[in-house]
């Protein structure tokens, strides 16, 4: 029977913790390295609904993209939702492991899975390569198999990503031709200038703020923008991470069962629209 230590070693070989940003918190959050692991649940967020799913399925480990404690803490008391989550996991012998910015820059990583989900084919290159290895880095640039209008590409991207209340927001001429596309899973407005310099036709990411996006669109000659839900842009990576874990362990003669959580943990669960006033 594989141990938690075996699984952690395989995950960290795919998503080296040394690749994480200095401010990040990745790796094993809770769990006994000597405990047995038969089932691993992959999810974007370490929240109560995911913990409930893990217990219902009988998972021994939850692997999330987002850290539970990003800025540190002085308590895991069950008086907070994070403390309650830790208590729930430990009480039921379920470990928690995080791969965050080290998965963002991996090759393949979060943005590779996003690129494939929205229809990019062929080779992918980092939008912002890592200084120590140009094969890794933030975001990805790729091409569509045939040109589409921005409107058609946005519809294709919406079909390829999991549904959320907010859907996709689009900025740009809906009739413009799109062939070369940049994507970045998660918050991407720090890469707006990089996307412009890359000469792509559209940049798809999440969490674009009003002022940076507005000023970006005022300058002529840049790409169109598509803003998706943060959770939706990172969810496609879960299946790839699960596949890498099972295949890597299989090469060592180790078998685990994996599952990708389909629980929508996007913070927004509905939207309201005003009726037209006649």
> Which residue shows structure tokens 């689009």?
170
Q: Which helix (H) or strand (E) holds 49?
A: helix 48-57
Task: Assign 227 to helix, strand or coil.
Answer: strand
Determine if residue 234 is labeled as part of a ligand binding site: yes
* Residue 65, marked binder: yes
β-sheet with 95-98: strand ranges across: 27-30, 95-98, 61-64, 39-43, 257-260
How many angstroms separate the CA atoms of 33 and 48, rounded?
Answer: 23
CA distance 221 to 224: 9
- Please check if 104 is assigned to a binding site: yes
DSSP label at 102?
Answer: H
Annotated binding site for a divalent metal cation: 65-66, 104, 230, 234
Annotated binding site: 65-66, 104, 230, 234
């Amino acid at each position: 029977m594989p141990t938690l230590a075996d699984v952690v070693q395989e995950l960290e070989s795919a998503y080296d913790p040394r690749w994480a940003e200095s401010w990040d918190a990745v790796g094993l959050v809770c769990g006994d390295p000597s405990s047995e692991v038969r089932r691993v649940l992959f999810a974007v967020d370490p929240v109560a609904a995911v913990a409930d799913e893990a217990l219902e399925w009988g998972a021994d480990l939850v692997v999330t993209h987002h850290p539970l404690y990003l800025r540190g803490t002085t308590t895991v008391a069950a008086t907070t939702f994070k403390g309650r989550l830790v208590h729930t996991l430990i009480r039921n012998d379920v470990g928690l492991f995080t791969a965050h910015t080290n998965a963002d820059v991996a090759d393949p990583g979060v943005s590779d899975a996003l690129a494939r989900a929205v229809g990019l084919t062929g080779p992918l290159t980092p939008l912002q390569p890592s200084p120590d290895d140009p094969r890794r880095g933030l975001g990805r640039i790729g091409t569509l198999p045939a040109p589409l209008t921005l409107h058609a590409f946005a519809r294709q991207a919406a079909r390829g990503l999991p549904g959320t209340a907010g859907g996709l927001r689009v900025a740009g001429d809906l009739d413009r031709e799109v062939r070369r596309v940049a994507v970045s899973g998660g918050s991407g407005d720090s890469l707006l200038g990089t996307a412009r310099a890359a000469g792509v036709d559209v940049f798809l990411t999440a969490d674009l703020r009003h002022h940076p996006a507005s000023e970006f669109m005022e300058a002529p000659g840049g790409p169109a923008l598509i803003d998706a839900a943060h959770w939706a842009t990172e969810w496609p990576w879960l299946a790839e991470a699960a596949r890498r874990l099972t295949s890597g362990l299989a090469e060592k003669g180790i078998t685990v069962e994996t599952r990708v959580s389909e629980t929508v943990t996007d913070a927004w669960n509905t939207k309201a629209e005003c009726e037209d006033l006649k």
